[in-house]
Amino acid sequence: MKSPQLLKGVIEGAILKIISQKSTYGYEIYQILMQYGFKDFSEGSLYPLLVRLETKQYIRSEKKESPLGPDRKYYYLTSFGEEQLESFTGSWQNLVSSMDALWGGIDDECL
């Protein structure tokens, strides 16, 4: 995704979706984002977003022992986070549907 503004609009929803699947820690979230094509998202941008999501009470965190060094901060979705994810999902699906209709309904001759 090349547009920073477009990425900014969807990344919180993407992070909530990842955390909704299982408790996870920051670097693992970053790796999953990379795996799904969010190549323009920097790891350094992730941690302030996690803090913001926690401040909004969409996620909570808990430190746990790591088998490979220092403790890790694991993130969990809260009930507010579930509601936000549901709202985001509905908005996203409406947007995708509208864009699909626009792309499929407009040809060069209409413009």
Q: Quick one: tokens of 66? A: 């790591």
CA pair distance 95, 110, nearest whole angstrom: 22
Starting from the edge strand earliest in sequence, which strands make up the sheet with 69-77, in order? Answer: 24-25, 69-77, 59-66
Predicted confidence (pLDDT) per residue in 48-85, tens digit: 999 999 999 999 999 998 888 899 999 999 999 999 99
CA pair distance 59, 53, nearest whole angstrom: 6
Q: Following CA atoms 1, 77, 96, 2 in sequence, which dihedral angle do they give, to the nearest 10 degrees?
A: -10
Compute the mean pLDDT over every residue in the chain, rounded to the nearest whole number. 90
* Residue 69: predicted pLDDT: 85
The one-character DSSP state at 24 is: E
Domains of the chain, each with CATH number or no CATH: 4-102 (1.10.10.10)
Which three-class secondary structure state does DSSP give residue 31? Answer: helix
Residue for token digits 């941008």?
45
Full-model pTM: 0.86
